[in-house]
Amino acid sequence: MNRRERLKGIVVSIPTPSKKDFEVDLEKFKEHVRWLIDEGMVEGKAVLMGAGGLGEGYFLTREEHYKVMETLVDAANGKVPTMTGIFESCTKEAIRRAKYAQDVGIDFLQVNPPHYLAPVDEEAFTHYKMINDNANVGIMVYNTPWAAMGFEIRPKLMEKLITLENVVGVKWMSFDSVNFIRVLKEFSDKVNFIDNSTMTSLAFQLGAKGYISLLGNIAPKAELYLYSLLEKRDYEKFDNEHKRLHAWREVLGAAEELGYQGVGEGTISKAILQAIGKDFGPPFPPQRQVSLETVEKVKKILEAHKVLETLNL
């Protein structure tokens, strides 16, 4: 099986557990990875990502990032492909981390475009090319139009990116529906698209091979069931079941204290996980931490809407 063929299915973005002093809890991380594998998140069905967006990779020190990579590879033990996030705008630092990922046996890198300000296509391509040329690891290009307003990957840049030997995937969403559809139609036979939108069944109908998942951390068997519907191309049933199993997203809109504003994903994701009974510790600074009262409110909302029963938790 070649590198591109392994990038498919449920890409579970794993939270990075933290202790009260904001140190990474590597033992808890390892236990969670092993539990995911035991629950069925294995090669052909899943890819496990450490230090991605949900894993607060952009708030980890280099040394912490290295330890997360090492722990992920050790816990995966060859049973499932591994991935890590690289969020650096400094290309030299991105290369340094990519080389380390190669050395410890990480299979794929999720790589953001540089984004202090909105890059032009030439700068984004240079970033990816230099990483490609200096580390032999599969690259999943990450389109992040919210991070650099005014910039996103369009067909002209995509044509250049797919010429890079190690670029085997694209984590894909777009604020522009025409661009979303066009890029999938034109390039899904050349690179594996991993959906990061709310239109997963459409993305699969246009050639996507996988999607990003938070739910997999909570109810892996439910997520595997959803993926089986995509494999069968039962898109109507997938849409209905996806809505039912992700009802908690709409439900939590009632918890205004959470919100989606902030510098990272740790605030809301760790509050949700804590309310469900999976305490991954506080978000890494400078992200704000919600109060225990808010976590209890979230828990009551979930219980009132029978979300945990729906997920068989």
Domain ranges of the chain: 3-233, 249-310
Instruction: Find out whether 158 and 182 touch, Cβ atoms under 8 Å.
Output: no
The span from the CA of 84 to the CA of 65, in Å, is 9
Sole residue written with tokens 């995911």: 36
Q: How confident is the model at residue 263 (pLDDT cuts 50, 70, 90)?
A: confident
Quote the pLDDT of residue 293: 85
Query: Is residue 48 scored above 90 in pLDDT?
Result: yes
The span from the CA of 68 to the CA of 30, in Å, is 9
**Fold that domain 3-233 belongs to in CATH:** TIM Barrel (3.20.20)
Quote the pLDDT of residue 262: 81
Tens-place pLDDT, residues 286-308: 998 888 888 888 888 778 767 77
**What residues pair up with 12 in beta bridges, in sequence order?**
48, 213
Quote the pLDDT of residue 7: 99
Residues in contact with 99: Cβ distance below 8 Å, sequence separation at least 6, in sequence order: 134, 135
- For residue 148, what are the CA distances in angstroms to 94, 96, 130? 18, 23, 20
Identity of the amino acid at 72: L
Tens-place pLDDT, residues 208-260: 999 999 999 999 999 999 999 999 999 999 999 998 888 767 666 555 566 56
Q: Which two tokens stand for residue 200?
A: 């997963």
Closest CA to 183 of 157, 151, 146: 157
Quote the pLDDT of residue 151: 93
Tens-place pLDDT, residues 51-72: 999 999 999 999 999 999 999 9
Query: Is residue 83 scored above 80 in pLDDT?
Result: yes
The span from the CA of 70 to the CA of 104, in Å, is 6
Tens-place pLDDT, residues 114-170: 988 899 999 999 999 999 999 999 999 999 998 888 899 999 999 999 999 999 999
pTM (predicted TM-score): 0.95
**Which value, in Å, is the radius of gyration of the alpha carbons in the chain?**
18
DSSP letter, residue 24:
B
Query: For 253-281, what is the mean pLDDT?
Result: 79
Peptide bond into 286 cis (omega under 30): yes
Quote the pLDDT of residue 208: 99
Strands (E), 232-298: none
Q: Which two tokens stand for residue 194?
A: 């991993």
Tens-place pLDDT, residues 180-212: 999 999 999 999 999 999 899 999 999 999 999
